[in-house]
């Protein structure tokens, strides 16, 4: 028996062209597994472009992958910036330092900074409020210090932080000297970006934050005029209003996390960027020498 009706898509058993494209992509994904970190990132970025993964999730995934290849020496707080308490200090000597820093954990040292005796938790000092300082002994309340080498992988250290339930480790170099400290927050910030707490309130609205002797965190939306005023520099604001615009022009493309470019006497490293714009930069000054000295 014949009929003039066209065959339905169900009866034909053949996918339409649009369906075919999706099927090809689906089977292609299963048949060609990523063979490297870069291939995996390309797949995830394609998913972000297709709105299957949002920009924030993409940034976190990139950060997690970066952590697996980074070592402690790359993110630790160097010894020159450590806030330490001496075992011989009296409460009236170390309490102002603790209050001013706003930190919750402090390495306790003996005769020198290389003589680590333990870790002091600020909360362990609360009994001083009720009992006073009479008979107080710092040595009786400090916790054991966790000592790790500079070469330790961040993903391994993060697992140890979680399993052993500690939050700070003292980093030593190949000769056994203290080279810095690292906290669980430092690692998490490598994954999710800056974590601000109540002690960061004063700096929350600031475009530029100093984190080292020659190390600054700069928001990409910082007006060039404000950047120049802060650093006493002369970056041009004729074509762009923000530092992010200048950096984008310097790269010539939308950069990814950890890409670096030099502009004037500054070195800019991208800390956080999504698939639309740059958000956060790490800036070091004086990277380039004047031309006559070169």
Backbone angles phi, psi at 236, to 5 degrees: -70, 135
Which pLDDT value is given to residue 9?
A: 44
- Digit-coded pLDDT (tens) for 68-123: 888 999 889 888 888 899 998 888 888 888 877 778 899 999 999 999 999 999 99
Q: What is the pLDDT along the chain (294 residues), one digit of tens a residue?
A: 444 444 444 444 554 554 445 455 545 554 556 667 677 777 777 777 777 767 777 777 877 888 888 899 988 988 888 889 999 888 888 888 887 777 889 999 999 999 999 999 999 988 887 777 777 888 889 999 999 999 999 999 999 999 998 899 999 998 889 999 999 988 888 887 766 554 454 444 578 888 777 888 898 899 999 999 999 999 988 888 899 999 999 998 888 878 999 998 999 998 877 667 888 888 998 755 444 443
Helix (H, G, I), strand (E, B) or coil at 101: helix
- Determine contact, residues 109/116, Cβ cutoff 8 Å: yes
Backbone angles phi, psi at 102, to 5 degrees: 75, 5
CA 165 distance to own-chain centroid = 21
Which pLDDT value is given to residue 24?
A: 57
Q: Measure Cα distances from 65 to 43, 52, 102, 159, 236 in Å.
A: 14, 19, 31, 15, 36
CA R_g for the chain = 26
């Amino acid at each position: 028996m014949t009929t003039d009706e066209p065959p339905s898509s169900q009866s034909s058993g053949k996918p339409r062209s649009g369906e075919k494209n999706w099927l090809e992509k689906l089977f292609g994904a299963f048949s060609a597994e990523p063979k490297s970190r870069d291939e995996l990132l390309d797949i995830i970025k394609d998913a972000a472009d297709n709105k299957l993964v949002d920009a924030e999730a993409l940034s976190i995934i990139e950060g997690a992958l970066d952590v697996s290849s980074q070592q402690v020496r790359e993110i630790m707080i160097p010894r020159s910036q450590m806030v330490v308490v001496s075992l011989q200090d009296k409460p009236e000597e170390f309490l102002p330092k603790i209050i001013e820093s706003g930190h919750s954990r402090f390495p306790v040292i003996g005769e020198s900074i290389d003589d680590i005796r333990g870790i002091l938790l600020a909360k362990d000092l609360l009994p001083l409020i009720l009992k006073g300082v009479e008979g107080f002994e710092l040595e009786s309340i400090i916790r054991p210090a966790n000592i790790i080498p500079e070469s330790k992988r961040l993903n391994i250290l993060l697992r140890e932080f979680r399993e052993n339930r500690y939050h700070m480790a003292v980093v030593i170099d190949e000769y056994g000297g203290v080279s810095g400290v690292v906290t669980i927050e430092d690692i998490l910030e490598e994954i999710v970006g800056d974590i601000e707490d109540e002690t960061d309130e004063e700096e929350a609205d600031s475009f530029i934050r100093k984190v080292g002797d020659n190390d600054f965190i700069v928001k990409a939306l910082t007006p060039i005029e404000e950047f120049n005023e802060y650093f006493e520099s002369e970056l041009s604001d004729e074509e762009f209003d923000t530092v992010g615009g200048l950096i984008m022009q310097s790269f010539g493309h939308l950069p990814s996390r950890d890409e670096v470019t030099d502009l004037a006497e500054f070195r800019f490293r991208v800390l956080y960027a999504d698939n639309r714009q740059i958000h956060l930069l790490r800036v070091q000054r004086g990277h380039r020498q004047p031309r006559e000295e070169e």
